[in-house]
Amino acid sequence: MTKLTVDGIQVEVPSGTSVLQACEVAGKEIPRFCYHERLSVAGNCRMCIVEIAGSRKPLVSSCSQPVGEGMVVKTDTEAVRAARRGTMELLLINHPLDCPICDQGGECDLQDQAFAYGRDCSRFSEKKRAVRDKYMGPLIRTVMTRCIQCSRCIRFTNEIAGVPELGGINRGENLEITPFIEQGLSSELSGNLIDVCPVGALTSRPTAFHFRSWELKNSDAIDVMDAVGTNIMIQVRGNEVMRILPRINDDVNEEWLSDKGRFSLDGLKNRRLDRPWVRINGKLTEVSWEEAVNAAATKLKSVSADRIGAIAGDLCDAESMFALKQLMNNLGSSNTDCCQDGAFYDLSQRGLYLFNSTIAGIENADALLIIGSFPRHEAPVLNARIRKRWLSLTQEFPIGMVGPLPSDPNYKVSHLGQDLSVIDQILEGKHDFAEILKSAKKPMIILGHGALTRSDASAIFSKVVQLATKYEVVTPNWNGFNVLHHSASRVAGLDLGFVPQNQGKNIAAMLNNGVEVLWLLDADEFDVKTIPDNCFVIYQGHHGEKAAARADVILPGATYTEKSGTYTNTEGRVQRSYRAIFPPGMAKEDWSIIVAVAKACEHELPFYDLESLRDQMVKNHPVFASIGLQESNLDLQKYTGATSKNIEKQPVMSIISDYFLTNSISRASSTMQECSKLRQTISAEAAE
Amino acid sequence: MSDKLVIKQPEEFAFDAESEKQIEKILSKYPPKRKASAVIPLLYVVQDQMNRQTKSAWVPKVAMQVVAERLEIAPIRVYEIASFYTMFNLKPIGQYHLQVCTTTPCWLRGSDNVVAACMKATGIEKIGQTSNDGLFTLSEVECLGACANAPILQVDHDYYEDMNAASTEALIEALRRGERPKPGSQIGRLNSAPIDHQVSSNKPEAKSSSEGANNVK
């Protein structure tokens, strides 16, 4: 620890801290452009200058200066202000000052700081430089003349995103930020460049000129595009979502958000189901809510309970799944399944289907084996955390990967092949990676759905548990056994027991003539052609896709932006999302639809609003009692699912073939469609 | 620099046998994990190969990609370096690259005359241009570090020292004929020795074995 004085305030900070951070501890705000707390220190903007008494040069840039014992720092002297004014004047020389037409206006670091340190008029009468704009893909709009060369974007792509595609070419006044080839950035985290850029050089392309930042109202929410549970802020104007930004949560997403989470928002407006429909004489017909609810209820009452089934999709909130499960149980059916992909889970212990290391815990691991998963596509933000650990200099982080490698994973892996028989070899200690796992003190295994959705998943799972037991992946103070989910609703569904109960039918059995009435709650990710022709389909959801077209009754629901809901992420972290706007047209919040149908079925549910529903849910499933990470003990000794079955000899396949189009919202988004098309063209060219 | 708009970039680039030999030698100087350090020498190898093959020493973008692959770094890192240093030409140049040092010592010793002579002999009107016959490109460069023999005219990799207008024109004429006059001092100076051959403090004039020494007045 080092003691120093900042503007007369004594602070004590760990040695190695920068003066800028020490000033923040003392509550002093230091202006900055190039310094970003999650990126490496560049020290090139010179805005964070402070005065340090007794130092050889009295004015130093505080971001790159480590603290010293007894340092006396002054952050607001006349000399400091004059230096910052000088820096600001130089920065503004080549800045176009087009704030009135700039999307960053109102939330621009340069604008804000010019307010404090800028001159009232320019003394520069020479020609300003102009820089040609660069193409960075369909997500990022560039106005490179506004760039102040802070190099944050270069450092972000290098360090966080792991795609070293941006750089600064030429020098001096001619310095320009550019990608090597202007074909669009290949990162799934590229939208964060917009947040990272302190000026209006990099702004959002899809929403360019759509709004000004001060027109927007915020509400907190949880991203449902993957199972990371990224904390987001939905910004709306009127009843329209204008922008989605990440919120800072160091345990989950730090301050990053995946491109799908940020830019799918135009999908919230397209192809929406905004009124109820009922199939009359083979043709879907617009009806009133009452008619639709009655049509569903009449059918539900007319068949025997074990011929009714319900499938929950990937975007559902816990409340609606709980309500639907209650309705099914009240009707007497135990055919519920939240695994559209037919994944195998061992539900005997909660820890067997969670990402137990936690996302922040990845930083403590010292070896990693990924089986049947490609985190870059399944959970880009979590992948950034793996990269962060891999980059850290404290200790080597060997990563082994069994499974498909569709692109660069953003860190170096030893690819152990696509054949799962390598698990047997590691188990027998015959493989090189066995040594790595053996010598690791905190090894991690990530088991993905590439493996869990196979027909031999139970055998794979049992082998992986053996692997975890043998290499002491789970110890009293470390849990390295991880299942990586990619569906936002899955863990909550498993926690709620939205699975076949007491010999109930799973999705495969339901689709194999197992049910006569099938309730699809936002379920779009399975082949609807497999639904038998004589099956009566009730589709409750928000987007008109194939499942809705097949339906006999359509009950229009709400997207995640239009309802309050609880989501449990892959770690088992319970998080709450709040409604930002109202559902379009006649669409309603999902839980209320289910309650209405239950009432029409004369199987009334014991709740009448979201609060009482949640009370009931907590009563039945205490894991939802509080928000945050829920303790889940995992004892591999108690695992009883061991089977003697062998792993089949066939390569593991990717579960996500196209990162940008994985659910009904992203498929309805023209931005995501454009990204997908671009990515396919680039990979096709690369393959040639 | 909107060079991209006007330059026709070649479709592909591959190191030839001679370059491979040089690269092997260059890479042996660096630890395998630090081979990224070889980026500047490798860019020179590219430029020399382009000179051999196309009579124009420049670095096309596709070659930067080849260098990046060889050194296992991102292509943009090579582009950053190639565009930072003026020694790397990012667009095609003439067969002979005339680089006149115009920094203070050379300027004091008459580099302006050398520049003027270059322009006169090649027909180039402005620094940075290439002559109409495509043989010469004239550049103004910063200190070449040979101030003792100022002024300096660097042709490709060779230093021609103690230049004046006449020797510059003669040199350019010789290059035009396809000759490569001997680099070094053009007035017969031995290395960077004093012009009057004084090599020690006690003898005013030393005996020199160099041929040119007899020409010194």
The C-alpha of B73 sits at a distance from chain A's nearest C-alpha, in angstroms, of 9
The C-alpha of B32 sits at a distance from chain A's nearest C-alpha, in angstroms, of 17
Contacting residues of B for A132, CB less than 8 Å apart: 2
Domain spans in chain B, listed from the N-terminal domain onward: 9-84, 96-185
Q: List, for residues A634-648, the tens digit of each pLDDT value.
A: 899 999 888 888 888
Assess whether pLDDT exceeds 60 at residue B204. Answer: no
Contact A164 B84 (CB under 8 A): no
Contact A165 B79 (CB under 8 A): no
Based on C-alpha coordinates, what's the Rg of chain A?
Answer: 27
Q: Which of B66, B83, B84, B86 to mutate to test the interface with A (most CBs of A within 10 A)?
A: B83
Q: How far apart are CA A336 and CA A334, in angstroms?
A: 6
Assess whether pLDDT exceeds 70 at residue B206. Answer: no
Assess whether pLDDT exceeds 50 at residue B2. Answer: no
Contacting residues of B for A180, CB less than 8 Å apart: 61, 64-65, 74-76, 79
Contacting residues of B for A181, CB less than 8 Å apart: 75
Q: pLDDT band for position B213 (50/70/90)?
A: very low
Q: Which residues contact B67 (CB under 8 A, 6 or more apart)?
A: B39, B42, B43, B46, B78
Q: Are B93 and A179 in contact (CB under 8 A)?
A: no
B61, B75, B80 member nearest A168 (Cβ): B80
- Interface A:B, Cβ pairs < 8 A: 34
Q: Which residues contact A627 (CB under 8 A, 6 or more apart)?
A: A574, A575, A576
Supply the pLDDT for residue A646.
86
Contact B76 A164 (CB under 8 A): yes
Amino acid at A587: A
Q: Tell me which residue of A619, A620, A624 sits closest to A317, measured CA to CA.
A: A624
Contacting residues of B for A164, CB less than 8 Å apart: 73-74, 76-77
For A130, the closest chain B residue by CA position comes to B1
Contacting residues of B for A179, CB less than 8 Å apart: 76
Supply the pLDDT for residue B6.
66
A165, A167, A174 member nearest B1 (Cβ): A174
Contact A167 B80 (CB under 8 A): yes
Q: How far apart are CA A378 and CA A373, in angstroms?
A: 8
CATH number given to B96-185: 3.40.30.10
Tell me which residues of chain A have a pLDDT lower than 70.
none
Supply the pLDDT for residue A288.
97
Mean pLDDT of chain B: 89
CATH topology of domain B9-84: Arc Repressor Mutant, subunit A (1.10.10)
Contacting residues of B for A183, CB less than 8 Å apart: none
Supply the pLDDT for residue A177.
96
Assess whether pLDDT exceeds 70 at residue B1. Answer: no
Query: All domains of chain A, ordered by start, with CATH?
Result: 2-93 (3.10.20.740), 99-268 (3.30.70.20), 350-486+632-656 (3.40.228.10)
Contacting residues of A for B65, CB less than 8 Å apart: 180
- State whether ipTM is beyond 0.85: yes
| Token pair for B172 | 């350019």
The C-alpha of B94 sits at a distance from chain A's nearest C-alpha, in angstroms, of 22
Residue A303 CB burial class (10 angstroms; 0-12, 13-18, ≥19): middle
Q: List, for residues B56-111, the tens digit of each pLDDT value.
A: 999 999 999 999 999 999 999 999 999 999 999 999 999 999 999 999 999 999 99
- Indicate if the alpha-carbon torsion angle B112, B117, B118, B123 is positive or negative: positive
Supply the pLDDT for residue B203.
62
- Contact residues of B toward A, CB < 8 A: 1-2, 61, 64-65, 73-77, 79-80, 83-84
Main-chain phi, psi angles of A163, to 5 degrees: -120, 90
Contact B83 A181 (CB under 8 A): no
| Token pair for A153 | 């974007």
Q: Are strands A399-402 and A166-169 parallel, antiparallel or unpaired?
A: unpaired
Contacting residues of A for B83, CB less than 8 Å apart: 169-171
For A175, the closest chain B residue by CA position comes to B84
Q: Where do the DSSP E strands lie in A353-415?
A: 367-371, 399-402, 414-415
